[in-house]
């Protein structure tokens, strides 16, 4: 982890879904230490600003990030051209910690851009099938155009339990509705399951409630939380959620810790 951004060269920038782009970055000189799935980087678009973005891929020495343009810095990152440079700090935060789920059934539940931080976890699980029980991947998006990694998903094979959208368009023949309805299709033994959940907070709460109801222990429901972040090193306090500084103690936390905090509206 470095205090100052290191220059990384943009080696690819491709459209991913409506408003989101996937960037591939390679060190221009010194490389950052390795990232783990679930951790994030601070990406600095020169002249525009620095924002937290999860790592969405870790192949072949490159850092992959999927960014949705919502404001000045994220739009500037979406617009970077191959051959130019961005600043990168990291790795920051807690990861999904796949090794702690060894032997368990895995339940990956993603909403919208939340699939980005879950992608390296799924790829790691697919690469080591003997390390865990059954792998289930459940994906929700607002519309078919908002779905990430559409070309890659079929290659995930059997664990890919399904995709549902809130609003279908012409040509969509898949499921319509909230992602929790796909849980009936997932194959898992609740007391021996670890769940990994990322998406809008309302989706995280609904998914966790349903999993608790089915008997998955709260501490084995790992959720990734977002708050505004600035320093990413646990000093500035921008990302405080109750007793947690999410850049340091998160973004991935067990639902046993997250539930009471998410229940307080002002936090
Ligand atoms: C740990 C972590 C990982 C993240 N990973 C990703 C990722 O992989 N891909 C991605 O596209 N985005 C990710 N984000 C969100 C991203 O950091 C924000 O979209 C970005 O900070 C917005 O900055 P901006 O300057 O572009 O827009 P701003 O002008 O700061 O904000 C534009 C709008 O977005 C809202 N906003 C700002 N920050 C957030 C946030 N953290 N969550 C929800 N709404 C926000 C603001 O309220 C405002 O309405 C992550 C955030 C965190 C904390």
The pLDDT, as a whole number, for residue 159 is 59
Please state which architecture CATH assigns to domain 6-92.
Beta Barrel (2.40)
Q: How far apart are CA 3 and CA 6, in angstroms?
A: 9
pLDDT band at 267 (very low <50, low <70, confident <90, very high): low
Domain 6-92 and domain 98-262 have a common topology: no
- For atom 35 of ligand 1, which residue has the closest CA? 70
Q: How far apart are CA 86 and CA 209, in angstroms?
A: 39
Mean pLDDT of 55-77: 95
Mean pLDDT of 130-153: 93
Query: Of all atoms in ligand 1, which is nearest to the CA of residue 56?
Result: 8
The pLDDT, as a whole number, for residue 205 is 95
Percent of the chain whose pLDDT exceeds 70: 97
- Tens of pLDDT, residue by residue over 82-118, are 999 999 999 999 999 999 999 999 999 999 999 999 9
The pLDDT, as a whole number, for residue 227 is 83
Handedness of CA 45, 143, 213, 183 (dihedral sign): negative
Name the burial class of residue 214, with classes exposed (0-12), middle (13-18) and buried (19+) by CB atoms within 10 angstroms of its CB.
Answer: middle
The phi, psi pair for 91, rounded to 5°, reads -75, 150
Using CA atoms of 179, 180, 185, 186 in order, give the dihedral in degrees to the nearest 10.
Answer: 100
- Tens of pLDDT, residue by residue over 13-36, are 999 998 999 999 999 999 999 999
Q: Which residues line ligand 1 (CB under 6 A)?
A: 40, 49, 51-54, 66-68, 70-74, 113, 116-117, 226, 228-229, 251
Contact residues for 96 (Cβ-Cβ < 8 A; gap 6+): 36, 37, 38, 117, 118, 121, 196, 222, 224, 252
- Tens of pLDDT, residue by residue over 142-155, are 999 999 999 998 88
**Over the chain, what is the mean pLDDT?**
93
**If one looks up domain 98-262 in CATH, what number appears?**
3.40.50.80
Distance of CA 176 to the CA centre of its chain: 22
Beta bridge partners of residue 12, listed in sequence order:
24
Domains of the chain, by residue range, sit at: 6-92, 98-262
The pLDDT, as a whole number, for residue 252 is 95
How far away, in angstroms, is 34 Cα from ligand 1 center? 23
- Tens of pLDDT, residue by residue over 154-208, are 888 765 678 999 999 888 988 999 999 999 999 999 999 999 999 999 999 999 9
Does 95 sit behind a cis peptide bond, omega within 30 degrees of 0 on the bond before it?
no
CA distances from 189 to 167, 201, 214, 265 (A): 31, 25, 9, 33
How far away, in angstroms, is 155 Cα from ligand 1 center? 29
Whether residue 261 contacts residue 244, with contact meaning beta carbons closer than 8 Å, is answered with yes
């Amino acid at each position: 982890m470095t205090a100052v951004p290191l220059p990384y060269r943009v080696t690819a920038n491709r459209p991913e879904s409506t408003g989101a782009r996937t960037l591939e970055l390679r060190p221009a000189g010194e490389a950052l230490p390795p990232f783990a799935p679930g951790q994030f980087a601070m990406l600095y678009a020169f002249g525009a600003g620095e924002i937290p973005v999860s790592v969405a891929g870790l192949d072949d020495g490159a850092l992959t990030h999927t960014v949705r343009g919502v404001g000045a810095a994220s739009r500037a990152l979406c617009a970077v051209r191959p051959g130019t440079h961005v600043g990168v700090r990291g790795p920051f935060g807690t990861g999904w910690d796949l090794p702690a789920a060894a032997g368990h059934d895995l339940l990956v539940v993603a909403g919208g851009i939340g699939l980005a931080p879950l992608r390296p976890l799924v790829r790691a699980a697919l690469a080591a099938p003997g390390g865990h029980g059954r792998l289930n991947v459940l994906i929700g998006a607002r519309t078919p155009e908002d779905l990430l990694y559409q070309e890659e998903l079929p290659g995930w094979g059997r664990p890919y339990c399904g995709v549902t959208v809130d609003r279908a368009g012409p040509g969509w023949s898949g499921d319509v509705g909230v992602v929790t309805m796909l849980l009936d299709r997932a194959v898992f033994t609740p007391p021996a399951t670890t769940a990994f959940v990322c998406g809008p907070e309302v989706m995280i709460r609904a998914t966790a409630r349903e999993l608790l109801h089915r008997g998955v222990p709260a501490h084995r429901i790992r959720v990734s939380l977002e708050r505004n972040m600035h320093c990413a090193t646990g000093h500035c306090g921008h990302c405080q959620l109750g007793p947690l500084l999410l850049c340091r103690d998160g973004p991935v936390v067990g639902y046993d810790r997250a539930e009471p905090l998410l229940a307080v509206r002002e936090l």
